[in-house]
Structure 1
Amino acid sequence: MEGGDMLSSVLRSANSHLIRYLAAALLRELAEEEAGPAFSVRFWDGSCTEPRHPPPFTLVLHDPSALRVLFDAPDELTLGECFMRGHIDVEGDLQAAFALAERLMTYQPSATQQAILHRLAACLPEENTEMQGHLGEGDGALHSRERDRAAIAYHYDVSNEFYRLWLDRSMLYSAGYFERTDDTLEAAQLHKLDYLCRKLRLQPGEKLLDIGCGWGGLILHAASHYGVEACGVTVSVRQAELAQERIEAAGMSSRCAVRICDYRDLEGAERYDKICSIGMFEHVGEPMLGSYFEQAWRMLRPGGVFLNSGIAASATYRRPGASFIDEYVFPDGDLVPLYSALQQAERCGFEVRDVEELREHYALTLDRWVEALERHSDEAKRHTGDMTYRIWRLYMAAAARAFRQGRIHLYHTLLSKPEAGECHLPLTRTDWYEDTVQARAA
């Protein structure tokens, strides 16, 4: 090696050592300030910092430029993009790592730490932070039919095989209903299906409309176990194709149907005894809430009920900075506070008969989804690529934490369409908790 090359190599090595030393010092101080469990850090050259006790997670830095993101006023979006690109990773308990991320987003360095950061910044390579957005002006106006189709296709048409890896056998992409915290995902989702049908008080021969039916799990269950005629609508082509296959395989074509249709385009004289919307409400958008409830009101027969289940924003919490999930997971998703939804529903004529908060159930569901996705990581990457795997792993783990902290909520809202002032509902809810699918089968 010539003299100039040797000097360059020595300087690079010294610079890398200095970066590791300064970064480790800052991260150690952050952990100590929080009085939380220490974590280990593995740097791009394989060297590690090791706490005294086994750490809950290891923060893996694959590229020194990632340190610019960690310490230069990060927010949810920039940290998420750094993880998505693979510049940082977490081995172990991803939930535990979120405490560090939240600390970084509120980090106010001391004078000594500012000096260290200044020295660190001078040593770091530049980070490429330019990322491509997924929906733009070419996809149409916000919440237009064209743009909503694009947004739904982006998320739900990733790959049926990808979703099959970590959802339950019925492929239900909404929160299960847990009778115990150790329930399996399969059990919780079966409980959920039956609970929804009991809340709707389905009767044989009734007509049920499912707005945003996904892969058809609920309409198949309702038709099979409650004897209704069920119709599901979705704007996802891949979901509709698989739902139709499942309906035919179950021999339920005479009682079940799925249509590729925007809820706004439901027309004709057809009316339904019961309507449900499970996990679709988040895509409606606050400006469209009036149209959404008006359409449900129009399609529902007098005396019928509409069960609307959706994620809601907290009325008091405001996220600092930009949203990673809005940008890369649910384009144009719009979480509104519960009071906004109820106000629009009542303006259309609906009467609010029941509201139930179920955020703990969504956190437990997301835990099981993340566990299953991680178990099938190699297969998931084969179906969708490493970046999509990383996005879904991060978003679901982050959502579980947000539900547990009460930053987002899940509500079942039962709305009735009175008939001459009568709702034709029982005086109590006891019938919701009496029968189960297992008891019926016995």
Structure 2
Amino acid sequence: MSIGTALETLATDLPVRVSAYDGSAAGPSDAGIGLRLLNPRGLSYLLTAPGDLGLARAYVAGDMDIDGVHPGDPYEALVLLLDRMRIRRPTPSEAVALVRGLGIGNLRPPAPPPQEKLPRWRRTLEGLRHSQHRDASAISHHYDVSNRFYEMVLGPSMTYTCAVFPTKDATLEEAQTYKYDLVARKLDLKSGERLLDVGCGWGGMVRHAAKEYGVRALGVTLSLQQAQWAKEAIDREGLGDLAEVRHLDYRDVMESGFDAVSSIGLTEHIGVRNYPSYFGFLRDRLRPEGRLLNHCITRPHNQDQDTGAFIDRYVFPDGELTGSGRIISAAQDVGFEVMHEENFRRHYAMTLAGWCHNLQENWDECVAEVGEGTARVWGLYMAGSRLGFERNNIQLHHVLAAKTDEQGNDGFALRPTW
């Protein structure tokens, strides 16, 4: 049995042209987008890890190509496959025929591509889930790729979190600056105040607060490469008297009495069961009437839901998402007064489109920097995430909260000033 015949047996609607190394094909011959299966290893990936993991393995390993789109931005292919492609489960007799026809040897799983992290249950050698050692390993897997690679994908702002677009025609850089300033205004930062930025990345919020508001800002990150880049940027911009970035777990910050805490893109990494200790720790770093801005990716519901094998093994190992309601409840339960929340879902879709554009424009240099397999991971992940935000499968929320004093004062104006 040819691979094309197998596909025609199971596909109820095949919107793309699929061609295989055995010379067979399936799907419309005039399709603008095509999948090319290049070798038997690619077939083994598809057969032994069905769903998004098998497809990802074949694509990342270079055993399958997508025609009609750029690997830096395969968004249009993903839209087409999600909207129209339907593969039904074979009957027992069909399954036997398929195995015989395609060859039982193809059911032997090949080794995963080197970009793939071990499955969650096999990471015990790195420590218990969300222990400091294992969190450091997970963060390094995602963020210690290459600072040069991130410069090409993220742009000059070096900001790997959702931008906020003041208008639809704003540039990505304008939107990232606007995001930092919105966070600063929500926190009502003033000259001379102290800010703690947990999960600070390359120091964008720390540098913005110091430069634009005269704030003494401390940022911490588990990524050594991020910390090194941020320190160089602080020195280059002459902000050393106000801004500092440390290579440090946020749980090891000993200082307290901060006027404000910003957490921009950290909560996704800490684990839902750790929310009480996380928000409790941030509360204890604040002075009375101090303020917290929590910015993180969320679900559109508050139920438990796995991130999926591709995201867990290739992108965010041990990452966990939940709804804004659960985040708000956790903050309230440790004593925060929640003042405001806001959803930036559509803004993240626009941000990801901008990053994919940058990856596509700098594709050859990105591949030279990190290898084609890793570059393919990023194109697939960012395009797929863009689609997830557009379809309301994931969201991005700001939660603004205050640590009230003993008299219940929260330090905010009667109406928002931002």
> TM-score, normalization: structure 2?
0.88
Aligned-partner Cα distance in 2 for 1:188–1:321: 27
In structure 2, relative to structure 1, the CA distance for the partners of 1:292 and 1:28 (3 Å cut) is closer
Summarize deviations over 1:123-152 as a string: whole Å, max 9, x none.
356153443644722211111111111111
Cα distance 1:224–1:321, how it changes in 2: closer, same or farther (>3 A)? closer
Q: 2:97 aligns with which of 118, 128, 132?
A: 118
**Cross-structure match for 1:152:** 139
Q: Which residue of 2 aligns with 1:240?
A: 227
Deviation at 1:293, TM superposition (A): 0.6
Give the C-alpha shift of residue 119 in structure 1.
Answer: 4.6
Separation in 1, partners of 2:217, 2:223: 18
Aligned counterpart in structure 2 of residue 88 of structure 1, from 46, 57, 64: 64
* Structure 1 match to 2:149: 162
SS state at 2:106 partner: coil
SS at match of 1:328: helix
Aligned pair 1:305/2:291, yes or no?
yes
Deviations 1:322-349 (A, max 9, x none): 4210112111111122222222211111
For 1:36-75, list aligned pairs within 5 A: 38-44=15-21, 51=28, 55=32, 57-64=33-40, 66-67=42-43, 70=46, 74-75=50-51
Question: Could you tell me which residue of structure 1 aligns to residue 378 of structure 2?
Answer: 392
Structure 1 contact 167–173 (Cα < 8 Å) conserved: yes
Q: Provide closer, same or farther for how the CA distance between residues 162 and 27 of structure 1 changes in structure 2, counting only shifts above 3 A.
A: farther
Give a deviation string over 1:220-275, Cα, whole Å, max 9, x none.
1111111111111111111111100000000110011111111111114x321111
Verify the 8 A CA contact 2:312 2:319 in the aligned structure 1. yes
1:58 Cα offset (Å): 2.1
Superposed displacement of residue 89, structure 1? 2.5
Aligned equivalents of 1:251 and 1:260: distance in 2? 20
Give, in whole Å, the separation in 2 of the partners of 1:318 and 1:89: 34
**Which residue number corresponds to residue 438 of structure 1?**
none
In the alignment, does 2:174 pair up with 1:187? Answer: yes
Judge conservation of contact 2:10–2:89 (CA < 8 Å) in 1. no
Flag the 1:213–1:321 CA change in 2: closer, same or farther, 3 A: closer
Amino acid at match of 1:395: Y
163 and 319 in structure 1: CA distance in 2 versus 1, 3 angstrom threshold? same
Alignment-derived partner of residue 288 in structure 1: 274
Residues 198 and 88 from structure 1, CA distance in 2 versus in 1: closer, same or farther, beyond 3 angstroms? same
Question: Which residue identity does 1:30 align to in structure 2?
Answer: D
Query: How many correspondences in the alignment?
Result: 405
Deviations 1:88-128 (A, max 9, x none): 222334223335654799632587x9859935751356153
Q: Percent identity?
A: 37
What pairs up with 1:181-260 in 2 under 5 angstroms?
A: 181-260=168-247
Query: 1:317 Cα deviation (Å)?
Result: 7.5
> Which among 140, 143, 161 is matched to residue 127 of structure 2?
140
After superposition, the C-alpha distances for 1:49-79 in whole angstroms (9 at most, x for unaligned) are 7847562x22222225545655788223222
Q: What residue is the counterpart of 2:317 in the other structure? A: 331
SS of 1:277's equivalent in the other structure is strand
C-alpha spacing 1:29/1:343, structure 2 compared with 1 (3 Å): closer
In structure 2, relative to structure 1, the CA distance for the partners of 1:73 and 1:217 (3 Å cut) is closer
User: What is the alpha-carbon distance in structure 2 between the residues aligned to residue 267 and residue 319 of structure 1?
Assistant: 34
Residue aligning to 2:8: 25
Please state if 1:352 is matched with 2:338: yes
Q: Which stretch shows the higher mean deviation, 119-128 or 370-379?
A: 119-128
Deviation at 1:46, TM superposition (A): 7.8
2:303 and 2:281 mapped to 1: Cα distance? 30
Extract unaligned runs of 5+ from structure 2: none
1:361 equivalenced with 2:340 (yes/no): no
Provide, for residues 370-400 of structure 1, a one-character-per-residue CA deviation record: whole Å limited to 9, x for no partner: 1211222221122212221111111111111
After superposition, the CA RMSD in angstroms is 2.9
Cα distance in structure 2, aligned partners of 1:321 and 1:359: 17
Aligned 8 A contact 1:235 1:262 in 2: yes
CA radius of gyration, larger in: 1
On the 8 A contact 1:211/1:275 being kept in 2, the answer is yes
CA change 1:51–1:169 in 2 (3 A) is same
Sort the Cα spacing of 1:344 and 1:260 in 2 relative to 1 into closer, same or farther, 3 A: same
**Alignment partner of 1:176: what SS?**
coil
1:7 equivalent in structure 2: none
Do 1:19 and 1:120's aligned partners in 2 also have CA atoms closer than 8 Å?
no
Asked if 2 retains the 8 angstrom alpha-carbon contact of 1:145 and 1:262, the reply is yes
Alpha-carbon distance in 2 for matches of 1:228, 1:47: 64
| Residue of structure 1 in register with 2:55 after alignment | 79
CA distance in 1, matches of 2:20, 2:130: 44
Residue 45 of structure 1 deviates from its aligned partner by 6.7
Q: 1:59 to 1:251 in 2, by over 3 A?
A: same
Map of 1:416 onto structure 2: 402
Q: Which has the higher contact order (CA 8 A, sep 6+)?
A: 2
Whether contact under 8 Å (2:302, 2:322) holds in the other structure is: no
Classify 1:321/1:407 alpha carbon distance in 2 versus 1 (closer, same or farther; 3 Å): closer
